[in-house]
Copies of this chain bind each other. A is one copy, B any other.
Amino acid sequence: MFKITLGENLFLHLIEMQHAQELHSVVDASRGHLRRWLPWVDAMKTVADFQPVIHAWLQQYADGRGFQAGIKKDGVLVGVIGLHDIDWMNRRTSLGYWLTEAYTGRGIMTKATQAVLAIVFNDYQLNRVQIQCGVTNYESQAIPKRLGFLFEGVVRDGEWLYDHYHDLVQYSLLREEWLRYISSGGR
């Protein structure tokens, strides 16, 4: 399987059709945790619900519009990280991710995000990456803050979450900022 190694027993891999079962199990076991901030959780009830989604992700990859990668720790799928489309005209993209509850707080998502940023800025030579998080989703906001993103503003009622709209905070990182961040040892 094609991977990006992040550390000891930790890697990213493109999500293929044969991962539908595993993806469903992980989401199913973590519904309560995930649905706090992810609007699609309730709609994904069976393995079959994930198949068209995975196919759409692979099509996105084939069309050069980004990718969705599984995060694998000690042989277990523990989350997903990916790009929401790539705007080649303006060389921008947007980054999203989630982790099951048991694996939060271990620096896994920070490492995963760093690896995806390397693809964004090195392989794809993009100029800008954006991350949007729920305005009170502090866990998720910790990632862009830790990696040198700047806060840009609040997208009011940016997302419908089952029964209400909620506001999204928006962070961004520019190519030159990332190069500086990397050359300074990533601190």
CA distance A55 to B62 in the complex (A): 7
Chain B nearest CB: distance from A127 CB in Å?
6
Q: A2-B69, A92-B158 are in contact. List 19 more A-B contacts (CB 8 A).
A: A1-B119, A2-B12, A14-B14, A16-B123, A39-B89, A58-B64, A59-B62, A90-B158, A90-B159, A127-B157, A128-B156, A152-B154, A152-B155, A152-B156, A153-B153, A153-B154, A155-B170, A157-B172, A157-B174
**CB <8 Å contact, B124 and A18:** yes
List B contacts of A128 (CB < 8 A): 156-158, 165
Is residue A121 within 8 Å, beta carbon to beta carbon, of the partner chain?
no
List B contacts of A61 (CB < 8 A): 58, 61-62
Is residue A53 within 8 Å, beta carbon to beta carbon, of the partner chain?
no
Is residue A179 within 8 Å, beta carbon to beta carbon, of the partner chain?
no
List B contacts of A62 (CB < 8 A): 55, 58-59, 61-62
A: interface residue count bin: 35 or more
Is residue A4 within 8 Å, beta carbon to beta carbon, of the partner chain?
yes
Interface residues of A in 1-37 (CB under 8 A from B): 1-5, 12-14, 16-18
23 residue pairs of the A-B complex, CB under 8 angstroms, read A2-B4, A2-B13, A3-B3, A16-B123, A17-B64, A18-B124, A58-B61, A58-B63, A61-B61, A61-B62, A62-B62, A89-B160, A90-B157, A92-B158, A128-B156, A128-B158, A130-B155, A150-B156, A152-B154, A152-B155, A155-B172, A156-B172, A157-B174
